[in-house]
Amino acid sequence: MKHLRPVNNKAKAIDESVNAQTAAMEQDVVALQQQVRPHVPMGCTLSFSPGWEVDAGGGTAGLCQPVERDIYDCYVTCFWPVQVPDHVNYSPDWASNCAAAARDWRSLDIIFP
């Protein structure tokens, strides 16, 4: 430690423990929790599959893609483990009437496997 100088045995043990924790923390990934927070432009997140996140203002309006776009991550790339149709085996055409999710999402139909 830099500011506290241990002067008895117990304090030396604490010193060693704090130094070990500090070293571990310096390896840690803190991303948006770090102080001061990094600059994140409005409308962007650090993940390039937006939709389920919020934007830097705490809402969903400023995302660079609409939240509805997120459903394709679940459908096509299995990015998110939710109950969506399986496009490989049973429902290859499920999204074919939905060219632009923000506009056409109502065309996505319920399916019965």
Partner 1 sequence: MTALLTHVYRSGEVHRFAAEGQDFIYLVSAGAIFALDGAVAQVLSMLDAQEMEHGALVQALVDAGQSHADAEDLVRELRLARVIVSDQTVAAPAPATPPVDYPLQALVLNITNQCNLACTYCYEFGADKIATPNGKPKYMTLDTAKASVDLLLAQSGGRPAVHITFFGGETLMNFPLLREVVAYATEQAGSSGRTITFSLTTNATLLTDEIIEFLAEKQIGVTVSMDGPQELQDKRRVYKSGKGSYAVIEPKLRKLIARHRSRAITARVTLTDGVTDVIRIFRHLKDDIGFHEVGFAPVTTSGTRDYSLSDDGMNSVLAQFHQLADEWLDYALKGWMHGFTNVSETIGELVQGTNKSHPCGAGLGLLGVSPSGDLSPCHRFTDADSHVMGHVSSGIDRAAQGEFLSKGHVGAKYACQSCWARPLCAGGCHHEAFVRYGDTGHANLHYCDWIREWTGRCLEIHGAISVKNPEFLEKFAQRKGLS
Site string for partner 1, 91-110 (x = CB under 8 A): --------------------
Question: Which token pair is 7?
Answer: 């002067």
Examine the residue annotation and report whether 70 is marked as an active-site residue of this protein. Answer: yes
Closest separation between CB of residue 24 and partner 1, Å?
11
Contacts 24+ apart (CB under 8 A), 80-85: 80/52, 85/111, 85/113
Catalytic residue among 70, 86, 93, 109: 70
Closest separation between CB of residue 7 and partner 1, Å?
4
Q: How many other CB atoms are found less than 10 A from the CB of residue 54?
A: 14
Q: What does each C-alpha distance from 7 to 11, 16, 25, 59 come to in angstroms?
A: 6, 13, 25, 52
Q: Which residues bind partner 1 (CB under 8 A)?
A: 1-11, 13-14, 17-18, 21-22, 25, 32-33, 35-36, 54, 58
Residues with a catalytic annotation lie at 70
